[in-house]
Structure 1
Amino acid sequence: MDSINQSLSQFSKGGFNERFEKIKKETMQDDRIRSFIAGNPELSEKQIENGVNEFYQYKKQWENCDHCPGLANCPNLIQGYQPKLSLYRNEIHLEYYPCSLKKKDEERKRQASFVQSLYIPKEMTQVSFEDFHEDHPSRMHAYTKAMAFCAEVKPGGDGRGLYIHGPFGVGKTFLVGAIANYLADEEMSTMIVYAPDFFRELKNGISDGSYQGKMDLVKQAPVLILDDIGAETMSNWIRDDILGAILQFRMMEKLPTIFTSNFDLHELEIHLSSTQRGGVERVDQLKAKRILERIKHLNDVIDMKGENKREKS
């Protein structure tokens, strides 16, 4: 980040003082700087004068943030960090704190380093509700319910979530990506897990000792999104020890869960009842019903229909 003198180096010597005074005046009229000075009435004129360069850098970097080009293209002195004015030993200094995009990126990296099945397609990392096109009544309904969820969600409150089902390509994962990004911007930790990969990863975690840590991370996520539930190969262990345990914990702690699935609830119950042992036994039906009751009790069901967007792309 250029200092005020570096910014003036392009001007001829004769116009330096005039240009300096102009930039200084523009800098000191900045609302954020005026607010800082007003909030620190003990500042002397000399301290303010000595801090002009810090004020200038502060103003320029916040202008970058106000017109954010995205984390990858952040031009600030420290990429992804926003400046804060402070007083240190009676002098004006700049401190730096991660912006919401940086914090979101670091949280995703932290989670992804621990649970590989948290993979989200790259195009989903920046998707927003503004990108959602309501070209079908059921999609409009889903969009409205998703926005209402974001406005009302409160982990530890009532624990209510969403169960979004529909055929391939209607935008289920797109919608939950928008939810996750919206909540991340609101600094609410949200974890998206691709269910089939996560279940396989937990199985491998038994042998490498990572099982419990991964299980706890997902169970305790303030907002959990289980993407494509029902696409996994069902077993007693997945149904009872993984899915059942996760939902039981989250129900007790009132933590909201969002599901996406190609199955409606009736089809999901059949899927949960059918294990690798073959056939459907009475005990499997009862355990499947128990999980379905938890989902029904705590989730608003959304039926998404419409054209397959993947086939059109």
Structure 2
Amino acid sequence: MENVGDKFKSIMATRNYADNYRKLMDQVFADPEVKLFIDEHRNELTDDSIKKSSSSLYEYVSKRDAMKKGTDAYAKGYEPKLVINNHAIEVSYQPTEAYLEQAKAKQIRGNIQDLGMSKALQNANLDDYYYENSPERKNALVNALDFIEAYETNPNEYHKGFYIYGSFGVGKSYLLSAIAHRLAKDNVKTTFLHFPSFAMDMKGLISSKTDSVTNRVDQVKKVPVLMIDDIGADSMSAWIRDDILGVILEYRMQNQLSTFFSSNFSMDQLEKEHLAVTAKGDFEPLKAKRLMERIKFLATPIEVNGKNLRND
């Protein structure tokens, strides 16, 4: 890519440099954006300072036009802007709106630890949460917005999460993901954890040489806001229940960290029909009750039902 200053000098160095320079600057000063800028700042500029700013004006027009054509990769993500500095015109390179949007999206993604979020949930937005003709969905949305406002107003206080339960396809997981995305926009660290997938990963880590169960559990249990999605979807071993889920919930309860759940089971069903019965068929109601007490401390139950949105 040819340097603008070098290009300007080469024009001046030609035999007919006076004519070339005059034609070049006539084009530059006739540029609508240049004319508008000079008019708007005329009280800050003299004729001499405008003349001395010729190379900057040429740089601005050249870079702007090259970027519009897509032929200039200089300072990618930045665009030239005319500015006044000490009564002279200079070029300042400032981030484009597209670049700022990309940076913001990257920041949001960095604030969400994704442990099993489906592709359909990766851009979940509370503004798109469907609640028409469903008082339950509307109530869930209102509670979600109240939580976000309370959390962002007082992030150092304990804010109880929700245990969102109901039938298939009513938007439970979507709502959890949308809450996570809204918090992430305000730089709150969240983890979205699809529990059946997480349980499989934990089993796989038992023999791993590059990571450990303890490290992974520590990452999850300490995050400021945790979304445990689809709890109760698969049978649970005693090890997953007591040494994985139990450890995570115990830590979060003791440290009062906001925790959310989604499930097809009510709290009572989760305790009696799922947590009390291990994958081997053992019946352990006391251990289930102990775990359920932690879930009740961490989350308020909110039922969401209605038509299956996945079939629409």
Does the 8 Å CA contact 2:116/2:198 hold for their aligned counterparts? no
Write out per-residue CA displacement over residues 49-103 of structure 1, whole angstroms, 9 at most, x where no aligned residue.
79978xx79xx9xxxxxxxxxxxxxx995559xx9x9x9xxx9976878832121
1:171 maps to 171
Contact 1:156/1:255, CA 8 A, preserved across alignment:
no
Tell me the equivalent position of 1:142: 140
Task: Return the offset for 1:277.
Answer: 3.2
Contact kept, 8 Å, 1:155 with 1:255, in 2: the verdict is: no
What displacement does 1:123 show?
2.9
Q: CA RMSD in A?
A: 3.9
5+ residue gaps in structure 1? 30-44, 61-74, 113-117
| Counterpart position of 1:21 | 34
Map of 1:129 onto structure 2: 126
Shift of residue 250, structure 1, vs aligned partner:
0.9
Aligned to 1:101: 105
Quick one: which of 226, 248, 251 aligns to 2:250? 248
2:253–2:297 contact (8 Å) kept in structure 1? no
Q: Does structure 1 conserve the Cα–Cα contact (< 8 Å) formed by 2:196 and 2:234?
A: yes
Is 2:213 aligned against 1:216? no
2:265 to 256, 263, 266: 263
Task: State the distance in 2 between where 1:289 and 1:28 align.
Answer: 73
Tell me the alpha carbon deviations over residues 202-237 of structure 1, each in whole angstroms, 9 at most, x when there is no partner.
111121042222111111111110100011221211
> For 1:175-199, what per-residue CA distance to the aligned partner results, in whole angstroms no more than 9, with x for missing partners?
1121111111111111101000101
Judging changes above 3 Å, is the alpha-carbon distance between structure 1 residues 138 and 28 closer, same or farther for their aligned structure 2 residues? farther
> Which position in structure 2 is the counterpart of 1:38?
none
- Superposed counterparts of 1:12-51, under 5 Å: 14-19=26-31, 21-22=34-35, 24-25=37-38
The one-letter code of the counterpart of 1:233 is S
Q: Secondary structure at the match of 2:144?
A: helix
CA distance in structure 2 between the partners assigned to 1:311 and 1:190 by the alignment: 29
Deviations 1:1-43 (A, max 9, x none): xx9999xxxx9863421426335359979xxxxxxxxxxxxxx
Give structure 2 stretches of 5+ with no counterpart: 8-22, 43-48, 65-72
Larger Cα-atom Rg:
2
Contact kept? 1:157, 1:255, Cα under 8 Å:
no
Q: 1:278 aligns with which of 278, 281, 285?
A: 281
Shift in alpha-carbon separation, 1:26–1:105, aligned structure 2, 3 A: farther
Q: Which whole-Å CA distance do the structure 1 matches of 2:125 and 2:173 have between them?
A: 12
Q: For residues 122 and 290 of structure 2, what CA distance do their matches in structure 1 show? A: 34
Distance 1:122 1:151 in 2: 27
- Cα deviation per residue 1:252-306 (whole Å; 9 max; x = unaligned)? 22211110000000011011000133242xxx21111111112212212110010
Task: Give secondary structure in 2 for the equivalent of 1:193.
Answer: strand
Q: Give the C-alpha shift of residue 104 in structure 1.
A: 2.1
Match of 1:201 in 2: 201
CA distance in 1, matches of 2:221, 2:131: 32
Quick one: percent identity of the two aligned structures?
A: 34
1:101 is matched by which residue type in structure 2?
A
Q: Distance in 2 between matches of 1:238 and 1:215?
A: 11
Counting only pairs closer than 5 Å after superposition, residues 172-191 of structure 1 correspond to structure 2 as 172-191=172-191
**For the residues of structure 1 that align with 2:224 and 2:144, how far apart are their CA atoms?**
17
Query: In 1, are the aligned partners of 2:224 and 2:257 still within 8 Å (CA)?
Result: yes
What residue in structure 1 maps to residue 235 of structure 2?
Answer: 233
**Does structure 2 conserve the Cα–Cα contact (< 8 Å) formed by 1:24 and 1:52?**
no
CA separation of 1:214 and 1:78: change in aligned 2, threshold 3 A: farther
Match of 1:115 in 2: none
With normalisation by structure 1, the TM-score equals 0.69
Q: 1:28 to 1:232 in 2, by over 3 A?
A: farther
- Paired residue secondary structure (2:300): strand
CA contact (8 A) 1:155 1:254 kept: no
2:28 is matched by which residue type in structure 1?
F
CA contact (8 A) 2:173 2:229 kept: yes
